[in-house]
Amino acid sequence: MDHEKKSTEHHFKQKEWKDIKSENSWVIFKVMSEFVEGFEKLNRIGPCVSIFGSARTNPDNPYYRQATNIASKLVQKGYGVITGGGPGIMEAGNKGANINGGTSVGLNIDLPFEQHSNIYIDPNKLIDFDYFFVRKVMFVKYSQGFIVMPGGMGTLDELFEALTLIQTEKIEKFPIVLVGTTYWTGLVDWIKQVMLEKEQNISPEDMDLFTIVDTPEEAVDIVDEFYKTYRLRPNF
């Protein structure tokens, strides 16, 4: 009896593992399809700047208005705008681009809460993703700069992804602008005082990979000045 039980358990585990392997094979094809769709659509959008920030920011928040203003100024300079496609700061960025006749791209992610695509994305420039890592590749490859508004975990994820890739020279350097001195100073002080000075986990030049500003004009000027020196092109 015990032998039969052990035999059945062993058979079940083997079958379960095969099922997992089969499912993983199909996941590969889903991932490939997301990359293909992303590359095909984004290859045609031209130079764009990504605007990141919280999905929870309301339209009456000053940061929402700032993000809309930044996007408006970017499209007036000839850049399109890429956001995560959802509400909050993402909506503000797409809105600023859309109402000024600029390219408005949304890289939406399917989440159980918070996320739904906003109405200001160009209909042919909305891409829905299941996988965060595929979406992050699209942001980095096709953005000529990152404007980082106050946000949460997802915003920090995108910020440090870009900083790491530039720091390790996996991609070309591009401007990274943090908007909101009050919001970002505590984090930047910790990076400088603990990561750099106390633990020496980064180099002094890593502090030059980003800039903190407070106005839309400053944010857009940093991007524009950068590309008076460097050529606009995909990052890898």
Residue 93 lies in a domain: yes
For tokens 């980082």, name the residue.
148
CATH number where 140 lies? 3.40.50.450
> Is 26 found in the same domain as 1?
yes
Return d(Cα 164, Cα 116) in angstroms, integer.
Answer: 28
> Is 124 found in the same domain as 97?
yes
82: phi then psi, degrees, rounded to nearest 5: -115, 135
Q: What mean pLDDT do residues 176-189 have? A: 98
pLDDT at residue 183, rounded to an integer: 98
Which has more confidence, 72 or 9?
A: 72
> Is 211 found in the same domain as 96?
yes
Which has more confidence, 24 or 101?
A: 101
Residue 236 lies in a domain: no
Q: Record the pTM.
A: 0.87
Which has more confidence, 221 or 235?
A: 221
> Is 129 found in the same domain as 213?
yes
Does residue 82 register a pLDDT over 90? yes
What's the distance, Cα to Cα, between the start and end of the chain in Å?
61
> Is 158 found in the same domain as 56?
yes
Q: What mean pLDDT do residues 218-234 have? A: 89
The model's confidence at residue 115, banded by pLDDT at 50, 70 and 90, is low
Residue 233 lies in a domain: no
DSSP-derived secondary structure letter, 215: S
Q: What mean pLDDT do residues 6-21 have? A: 55
Does residue 16 register a pLDDT over 80? no
> Is 145 found in the same domain as 36?
no
Does residue 12 register a pLDDT over 50? no
> Is 56 found in the same domain as 28?
no
Residue 9 lies in a domain: yes
Which has more confidence, 165 or 1?
A: 165
Last residue within a domain, chosen from 11, 28, 44: 44
Q: What mean pLDDT do residues 182-192 have? A: 98
Return d(Cα 106, Cα 123) in angstroms, integer.
Answer: 9
> Is 218 found in the same domain as 101?
yes
Residue 31 lies in a domain: yes
Query: Which residues touch 219 (CB under 8 Å, ≥6 apart)?
Result: 70, 147, 177, 179, 213
The tens digit of pLDDT for each residue in 197-225 reads 999 999 999 999 999 999 999 999 999 99
The model's confidence at residue 8, banded by pLDDT at 50, 70 and 90, is very low
Angle at 206 between CA 51 and CA 231, to 5 degrees: 55
> Is 29 found in the same domain as 119?
no
Return d(Cα 66, Cα 70) in angstroms, integer.
Answer: 6
Residue 119 lies in a domain: yes
Q: What mean pLDDT do residues 4-30 have? A: 63
> Is 77 found in the same domain as 173?
yes
Least confident of 19-23, 48-52, 115-119, 178-182: 19-23
pLDDT at residue 25, rounded to an integer: 76
DSSP-derived secondary structure letter, 139: H
Return the amino acid letter for 34: E
pLDDT at residue 21, rounded to an integer: 59
Last residue within a domain, chosen from 10, 25, 44: 44
Does residue 30 register a pLDDT over 80? yes
pLDDT at residue 27, rounded to an integer: 86
129: phi then psi, degrees, rounded to nearest 5: -120, 145
Q: Are strands 80-83 and 104-109 parallel, antiparallel or unpaired?
A: parallel
> Is 40 found in the same domain as 156?
no
Residue 73 lies in a domain: yes
Contact 82, 23 (CB under 8 A): no
pLDDT at residue 225, rounded to an integer: 95
pLDDT at residue 26, rounded to an integer: 82
Residue 232 lies in a domain: no
Contact 168, 140 (CB under 8 A): no
Does residue 162 register a pLDDT over 50? yes
The tens digit of pLDDT for each residue in 36-63 reads 999 999 999 999 999 999 999 999 999 9
> Is 3 found in the same domain as 107?
no
Q: For the chain, what is the domain count?
A: 2
Q: Which domain holds residue 85?
A: 47-226
